[in-house]
Structure 1
Amino acid sequence: MKSERKQVYLFYKPNDELDEKVQKLRELGKKHGFTLAESPDKANIIASIGGDGTFLQAIRKTGFREDCLYIGINDDKLGFYTDFNLNDLEKIELGMQAENIEVLRYPTLQVTVDDLQEFQCLNELSIRSNIIKTFAIDVFIDGIHLETFRGDGMIVSTPTGSTAYNKSLKGAVVDPKLNAMQLTEIASLNNNQYRTLGSPLILNNDRELILKIVQDGNDHPIIGADNEALSIRHSHEVKVKVSDKSIKTLRLKDNLFIHKVKRSFL
């Protein structure tokens, strides 16, 4: 790696056992000319240490930066975003050599709530009931009304997020090289009044998805971004698009998407 790419910020939750391992990682980084940054805004590389949840938090809490690389290092917790293992320093050291790694760009979602609040998601956007009660959503694609959904909620996922909450809802597993988003239902009702597609829907990156929450006096669902519930209440309209911004991350060349799918599910 070039010297200007060697300012590293470590994102993790400290504890005695982990601190000992991280110290060895620091020593290895120093050996290869890496310098620890005191804050993420001064870093060119942000390395999360933990599982996929920690990786998602690292990206969200550092502002979905496009001008740095994100690296996922797991502590024996398998994941789709964590290519490196803190207990295998030899492989991490090999990863510090450019010929063993490649840069991937993961698509993100751009979400706008009531034309007031905007944010990004790397995994998925979720809209779920906050009480034991179904609610209705009018679904529009490029301004055309598709359906009126009633059920427990809906998920809009990225290709990398397709293996998370989306998969548990029988959504499709999507190749992360596809720049797209997927709409998946959560426990939909289908009767004479409400009729939905009843299957996941994959949309191209130039589509605009609008979810209008049908209000009947007590329908204020919870909105979640990745693994975090947002403090947004009384929302009426949620717009979702595939963002022009992407997240850059490092991947070992011998750890392809198909390897991860097979290792995690088969």
Structure 2
Amino acid sequence: MNHLKKIYFFDPFGKETKKIRKDLEEVFARVDIETVKTSDEADIIASIGGDGTFLQSVRKTGFKDDCVYIGIAVRDGQYLYCDFNIKDHKAIEEAFTSSETKVRKYPIIEVKINDNQTNYCLNEFTLRSSIVKTIMMDIYINDFLFEQFHGDGIVVSAPTGSTGYNKSLGGAVIDPMLPAMQLTELASVNNNKFRTLGTSIVFSKERSLTLMIDQAHDHYPIMSLDNEAVAVQNTDRVEIKVSDRTIQTLRLPNNTFWHKTQRNFL
């Protein structure tokens, strides 16, 4: 951990967490880590808040793959992305001085809507109808038309996002050591006229998905990237794949992905 020397605090709450931020600056100074004013200067980006704030910090700083992201919770509770709590300064200091602390990499997915710029997700991408009726789309795996979907929508999750919306829909929890993504349906229609696989599908990094929206039914589907809504008019095509990029976080001996999954669900 000796190569991590500069930290940037992602603090969207401003005045509410001013005292917390000042305390944290002192904590990191004690382990010879300097606070910097911009994320471009940092090799550590620390969010102050909860899991939602962590996701924002990654998105707002551009999914940097040359730094380590950490989450520092301001309230008690169980978190997936926050390894630390503001009340436990000792744990923070020990993590950045211990030889047992390692850097781990999380896969992310990339999403391209129409011909717009590529977006990234650490949790999931969702697409659903914007009107009170089902949405229809052709789902291609690579260039192969796999199924014609008719239902409320779909969720495509990265491994770390598999414990969220995806799990509530009956999807599998995926080990983040696997560079994969998972497609899960939202209330698909299955009858004599319409037919989908009706179960979650896990895809390797070598696969890509293309969603071709039926323009006769819905030009303006509701879409989200992690916890942020996306507004794109006249959507007709969405391309999704596992990115070559990753984000880095800390791997603590007693706070791995599976430790946190156990605490949250068992």
TM range (shorter): over 0.9
Offset at 1:21? 2.9
Aligned position for 1:264: 264
Equivalent pair of 2:138/2:214 in contact (CA under 8 Å) = yes
The 3 A distance-change label for structure 1 pair 189 and 213 is same
Aligned position for 2:49: 50
Aligned position for 1:18: 17
Aligned position for 2:94: 94
- Superposition misfits of 4+ residues, deviation over 4 angstroms: none
Aligned position for 1:60: 59
Alignment of 1:176-255 (within 5 A): 176-255=176-255
Q: Which AA in structure 1 matches 2:88?
A: D
TM (norm. structure 1) is 0.95
Equivalent pair of 1:135/1:219 in contact (CA under 8 Å) = no
Matched, 1:146 2:146: yes
Aligned position for 1:73: 72
Aligned position for 1:109: 109
Aligned position for 2:132: 132
Distance 1:161 1:235 in 2: 24
Q: Which AA in structure 2 matches 1:149?
A: F
Identity of aligned residues (%): 47
Unaligned runs of 5+ in 1: none
Distance 1:211 1:177 in 2: 26
Equivalent pair of 1:51/1:78 in contact (CA under 8 Å) = no
1:73-118 CA-to-partner distances (Å, cap 9, x unmatched) read 1122421111111111111111111413111100011111123331
Offset at 1:5? 2.4
Q: Which AA in structure 1 matches 2:7?
A: V
Distance 2:59 2:96 in 1: 25
Corresponding residue pairs, total: 265
Distance 2:218 2:232 in 1: 15
Aligned position for 2:119: 119
TM-align CA RMSD: 1.5
Offset at 1:17? 5.7
Distance 1:12 1:172 in 2: 33
Offset at 1:158? 0.5
Offset at 1:27? 1.0
Distance 1:211 1:12 in 2: 36
